[in-house]
Structure 1
Amino acid sequence: MKKVFVSGDFNILHPGHLRLLKFAKDSGTYLIVGVHSDDISGKGISQDIRLESIQAASCVDEAFILDIPATQYIQKSKPDIVVMGKEHELKENPELEILANYGGKLLFSSGEIGFSSMDLLRQEFLSLSNNVTHSPNFIKRHDMKLETLKEIIEKFSSLKVLVIGDTIVDEYITCEALGMSQEDPTIVVSPLATNKFIGGAAIVASHARTLGAEVQFISVVGDDDNRDYVKDGLGDLGIESFLLCDSTRPTTLKQRFRANNKTLLRVNHLKQHSVSKDIETAILKKVQESIDTVDLIIFSDFSYGLLTDTIIKNITKLGKKKDIFMSADSQSSSQTGDITKFKGMTLVTPTEREIRLSLNDFTSGLVVLSEKLSKKSHAKYIFTTLGAEGIMIYNDPKKSFLTDTIDALGSLVKDVSGAGDSLLTCSSMALAVGADIWQSSYLGSLAAAVQVSRLGNVPIKKEEIIQELN
C-alpha cells in the first residue's frame, strides 16, 4: 500500500483543495490528510468543522487533527509520498531532506481542472430520491389496501430463497468530455471516477436479501478480481453464496462510460459458452443438498452459459416435486435468449422483445403473445415488461380477469438497467408469501420504480417499499 500525505488549514474546502486531494489520491493508494489544529492554523473556523469537511471528501481515506509541524509527522510516520500545492515548489521545503533520508517523494501539483466536481459526480450514484407515483385506478380496480401490501412485504422475512443465474459486475466510468478529436471524428473523454455494482443474478439475490429473505445464491465466476468483489459484496449482505470458478471465462463485466449524465458507450467483457459437465454436476449437487429448505427458486438467466437445459430441467423437476414456487427471467442481449426453456414456472417476467424472439412472432398483439407463451411454457402468470409503458399482466387463463396493465410508476428515470431484476424479485417473493397476482405485480412495479430512480444496481430495502406505501 502506497501512503500519500497532505496537510493544510483547509479553512473553507474549495474546488482547488478537491483537485489537490484528487491528485494526491491518484498518486498512491491510501490518502492521509492532516488538518492543522486551531493552535497551528489560527483561522476563524474551528478544527472540528474543518476536519469534518475533509472527512466528507470521497477521495480521503483517513483524516486527523495535526497538532505538530508536518515535518515532525513525516519524520515519524514516513509516508511514501507527500503532496503540496504548486505554489510551494519554488519555496524552501524542509520536507525534501526528511523524505530523501528514507526514500520518500515530494510532489507538487494543484490538480487538474474539472476534477473538483468529483463529489458532485458521486452524488449521482448516492441519490436515493425515488419520485414514485402510484396508480390509483389499478389499486381501486383490484380493491387493494395499502396496509395489506405492507403486511405482504413484512412477510418476506419468513422466506428462504434460492437464486441461480449469471453473475455480472456493472462498472460506471464517469468521464469529463474534452471535445472532438482533431485527427478524426471521435469524442474524447477523460475518466474521472469509477463506481462498481453487483449485477445480473447477483443483484436478484441481493434484492431478495435486503427485502428480508434468507438467500442462497449459485453462480459461476472467473478467476479474477471481480470474483472477489462479488464474493465480498454478497458476504457483506449475509448471502450464502456458492460461486464456482470457471477458468475458461472472466467474471462478466459490463462497463458504461458516462459524461454529463449520459451513457456514451458500453463495453462488455464476457464469454457465452455453456459451462462444463463438471460444473453442471456440482451445481445440481448443491441444489439437491439445499432444496428441502427452499420456499422460492428464482432463475435469472442472461444467456451467458450457466443455465443449460440440463440444469434447468433438473432443478425444475426438483422444484415441482417439492411444490416450490419458481420464477424466471431470460434476458436477450442480442438475438439469444429463450424464455420458453423455463417450463411450468409460477411467474415469468420477459420483455415484449424477448417474447417475440422466443416465439419468432413479430406481428401478434400483446395478449395473443401472452397466450402463445402461456401455452408453450405452461407459465401460470406472465408479466410482460414494456419499458416506459409499464407492464402487462397475464393471469391464469382459468381466472375471469385475464389481463391488466400497470403504468410505469417511476416519474424520475435515471437508469433503466436493473428494473426487470427488481420486478422479478419482489413480485416472486410476494407470490411466495401468498399475495395474489395483482398485489404481487403492483409491489414489483413499485420496486422497479425505486430502482430506476438511481444510477447503478443498488439492493432495494423493504423499508423503501414500505415508505412508498405510507
Structure 2
Amino acid sequence: MSDTKIVELKRLAQVVAEARRNGKRVVHCHGVFDLLHIGHIRYFGQARALGDLLVVTLTPDKFVDKGPHRPAFPETLRAEALASLACVDYVAINEWPTAEETLRLLRPDVYVKGSEFKVSSADMTGKIAQEEKVVRELGIQLAFTEDIVFSSTNLINRFISIYPQEVTAYLELFRKRHPLEEVLAVIDRMERLKVLVIGDVIIDEYVYCEAIGKSSKDPVLAVKYQSEDRFAGGILAVANHLANFAGQVELISVLGTRNQYEGFARAGLNEKIKAQFFTVPGIPTVVKRRILDGYTFNKLIEVYDLDERALPAAISAAICAEVRARAATADIVLAADFGHGAITREIIETLCASAPFLAINTQANAGNRGFHTISRYPRADYACIAEHEMRLEARDALGELRPLLEQTRRRLKARYMIVTRGQRGCLVSGDGDGYVVVPAFARKVVDRVGAGDAFLSATALAAAQGAPGEVLGFLGNVIGAEAVEIVGNAKAVDKLKVKKTIVALLK
C-alpha cells in the first residue's frame, strides 16, 4: 500500500487538483524528515485533522543543507518511511531546494509547519519567510501545529553520529561548555567588524593532465594536457573569506608588471572588498602552477613564478603610510604573510605599531622555507600557524608541541595562538582559556590548498571579539572542514553553510 502512495511531483499536482475539484480539503506538509520520530508522527496527525487529504513533499538529497553528511537516509528511504504512516495519503520528492515552487504547483488549501517555525526571523536561511510570502500570494491557509518538538539533528548526533567516538565525546563536552547560541552569536557579531588585510597576491593555476607513460628519451613521466583552472589565491582568498563574514574589508597588496593580473585579481574579489594594489616594475605577480593528474587529483609538480627581490624602498614606504591611515579606522588588521615579499620589515614595524588588533600568519612554503618564520613579528594579538611552521620556528622537530606553542605565544605577547595540525585538529593557547586540543571535523578531503587561509580568516574575526579560545579552535576546524571540500580557492567558505554545520554539530 505504501508503494502506491509515493508518486512523482507532477502526478501529485494532478491528484491535488482532482481532490479539490471533488470538494476535498487538501493539506500539505514539507520538509527533510531525515530521521522519522514521534514529533513528526504527531505533527502529521495534527495536520491530517485539518483536512481530508494529507500530501507530503520532501527535500531531495542534493538540496539537503542540514550540515555535513546529511541526509543520514537517502530520499527513497525517507519517502518510504513517510508513506508507511496511515495519516499520510501521498508522498512526493520535491524538485527544488525549497517549497516555494512546490506550493505554486500543488496549490493546497492548507500549508502546515511545526510550532518551531512560528517565528520566521529565527530561521537563519530565510526560507520560511519566503514560503510565507508565497502562501499569502496564493491565498493558502498557513497553520502551525502545537506539540512537543523533537529534532532529527539532535537524535542523529546522539544515536548515529558519523564521527569517531573521541570526536563525538568531545562534541558532547563542548556543547556543555559553549551552547549553540553562544557560538552562532560569535559568527553574527563578525558582521560588525571592519578589517584591513595585507599580504601576497598569489594566482593559483591548476593544470589537469592524463598520465600517458614514461618519456622515451628521459626518466620522467609524460602527461597529456586536459584542461586548467585559475583561482584568486593568497591574500585574495583570505580577503574573500573575510568578506563572507565581516562587515567591511579593505585590502592592501602588490602586483608585478611582468604579467598582467590586476583585472583577474579584481574580478576574483568579493564586491564588498576595497582593494589597493601597488605595482612593482620588473617583477611578476606571484603565480603557483600545479600540474595534476586529472583522474586521481594527485599533484605531480608545482611551478613557481616569483621574484625574490625586496620591495623598492619607495613602495614599502607608501604601503606603510597606507597601513597607518587605514588601520586607524579598522577594528582588526590581519597580515597573511606568505613570505613572497609583499610585507617588508618596515611594513611589519608599522603593522605592530598601528594595528588596534593584529592577527598574523607566516606561511612556510617551498618559496621561502627556512627563511620565513613567525619570529619576523615582534608582537601580535592573535597568531595562527601550522605545526611544521611552529617546529621550524622553534628548530625542534620532535619535541612536545605544547611548550613550543606556549613559549612562542609569550614571546609575541599574544592573547591567543593556535597551531593547526591537519587531520589531528588544532591546539589552542589563550589568556584565561588555558590550553585546549580541538579535534578535526573533516570527513572528506578534496584539496587542502586554501584551508589554512579559511581557518585564519574566521578565527581572527572571533579573536578580535574576545571569544573563548576553545570557540576559536572549534570555528576554525568547522570552517577548515568546509574548505577542504573546495578545489583550490574556487570559492570562499559560505557563512550560512558554516552556521548550518555548527547547528548540525551542536544541536
Equivalent residues of 2:327, 2:333 under 8 A apart:
no
CA shift for structure 1 position 214: 1.0
Give the distance between the partners of 2:374 and 2:208, measured in 1 at CA. 34
Displacement of 1:203 after TM fit? 0.9
Partner of 1:343: 378
Question: Is 1:217 paired with 2:251?
Answer: yes
TM-score (norm 1): 0.67
- 1:251 corresponds in structure 2 to 285
Asked if structure 1 preserves the Cα contact closer than 8 Å seen for 2:213 and 2:222, the reply is yes
Question: Which moves more between the two structures, 132-141 or 243-252?
Answer: 132-141
Give the TM-score normalised by structure 2.
Answer: 0.63
Is residue 206–residue 237 contact of structure 1 (8 Å, CA) maintained in 2? no
Runs (5+) with no aligned partner, structure 2: 1-160
Q: Which residue of 2 aligns with 1:372?
A: 407
Please point out which of 310, 327, 331 is paired with 2:346: 310
Kept in 1: contact 2:255–2:280 (CA 8 A): yes
Deviation at 1:190, TM superposition (A): 1.7
1:440 aligns with 472
Q: Aligned partner of 1:312: which letter?
A: I
From 329, 335, 343, the equivalent of 1:293 is 329
1:422 Cα deviation (Å)?
A: 0.9
CA distance in 2, matches of 1:403, 1:437: 8
Aligned to 2:273: 239
Which letter does structure 1 place at the counterpart of 2:500? Q
* Secondary structure of residue in 2 paired with 1:206: helix
Answer with 154-163 or 285-294: which moved more: 285-294
Match of 1:178 among 194, 199, 212: 212
Distance 1:316 1:137, change over 3 A: farther
Once the two structures are superposed, residues 426-467 of structure 1 have per-residue CA deviations (whole angstroms, 9 ceiling, x without a partner) of 001112234221112211111111101121112112112112
Per-residue CA deviation, residues 181-226 of structure 1 (Å, 9 max, x unaligned), is: 2223321112211111111122111100022431000011112222
Residues 299/364 of structure 1: CA separation in 2 closer, same or farther (3 Å cut): same
- Residues of 2 paired with 1:202 and 1:359: CA distance? 29
Worse-superposed segment, 138-147 or 204-213: 138-147
Map of 1:106-185 to 2, 5 A cutoff?
A: 135-142=167-174, 143-185=177-219
User: What root-mean-square deviation, in Å, do the aligned CA atoms of Structure 1 and Structure 2 show?
Assistant: 2.0
Give 1:163 deviation, angstroms: 0.4
* Alignment CA distance shift 1:212-1:371 (3 Å): closer
Q: How does 1:375-390 map to 2 (within 5 A)?
A: 375-390=410-425
Which of 201, 219, 223 lines up with 2:235 in the alignment? 201
Deviations 1:340-373 (A, max 9, x none): 2223312111112212222323343101111221
Aligned residues: 332
SS at 1:300 equivalent: strand
Distance 1:269 1:148 in 2: 45
C-alpha distance 132-392 of structure 1, shift in aligned 2 (>3 A): farther
- The Cα shift of 1:140 comes to 4.1
Shift, 1:267, TM fit: 0.8
Q: Distance in 1 between matches of 2:305 and 2:292?
A: 17
CA shift in 2, pair 1:227/1:441, >3 Å: same
- Equivalent residues of 1:272, 1:303 under 8 A apart: no
Partners of 1:177 and 1:237 in 2: CA distance: 39
The alpha carbon displacement at 1:232 in A equals: 2.1
Secondary structure, aligned partner of 1:293: coil
Q: Is the 8 A contact 2:364 2:370 kept in 1?
A: yes
- In structure 1, C-alpha distance between the alignment counterparts of 2:162 and 2:182, rounded to whole Å: 19
Distance 1:461 1:255 in 2: 26
The one-letter code of the counterpart of 1:304 is: H
Query: Following the alignment from structure 2 to structure 1, what is the Cα–Cα distance between the partners of residues 466 and 495?
Result: 17
1:464: which partner in 2? Answer: 497
Q: Distance in 2 between matches of 1:189 and 1:446?
A: 36
Deviations 1:389-446 (A, max 9, x none): 11111222xx3x5211112211101111111111111001112234221112211111
1:262 and 1:376 map into 2 onto residues whose CA distance is: 39
Equivalent residues of 1:341, 1:377 under 8 A apart? no
The residue type equivalent to 2:470 in the other structure is W
Q: Does 1:392 align with 2:435?
A: no
Contact kept? 1:343, 1:379, Cα under 8 Å? no
Taking structure 1 as reference, are residues 263 and 280 closer, same or farther at Cα in structure 2, changes over 3 Å only?
Answer: same
Residue 345 of structure 1 aligns to a residue whose secondary structure is coil
Find the partner of 1:449 among 481, 487, 491.
Answer: 481
Q: Aligned-pair distance for 1:133?
A: 5.7
Q: What residue identity is the alignment partner of 2:309?
A: H
Maintained 8 Å contact 2:246/2:461: no
| Alignment partners' CA distance in 2, 1:292 and 1:373 | 27
Question: Counterpart of 1:174 in 2: which secondary structure?
Answer: strand
* AA matched with 1:350: I
Residues in 2 aligned to 1:132 and 1:340: alpha-carbon distance in whole angstroms: 40
Structure 2 residue corresponding to 1:227, chosen from 228, 252, 262: 262
311, 329, 332: which one pairs with 1:275?
311
The one-letter code sitting in structure 2 at the alignment partner of 1:156 is M
Which residue identity is paired with 1:231?
A: R
Retained in 2: the 8 A contact 1:211–1:460? no
Q: Using the alignment, how far apart are the partners of 1:447 and 1:213 within structure 2?
A: 18
Runs (5+) with no aligned partner, structure 1: 1-130
CA contact (8 A) 1:162 1:216 kept: yes
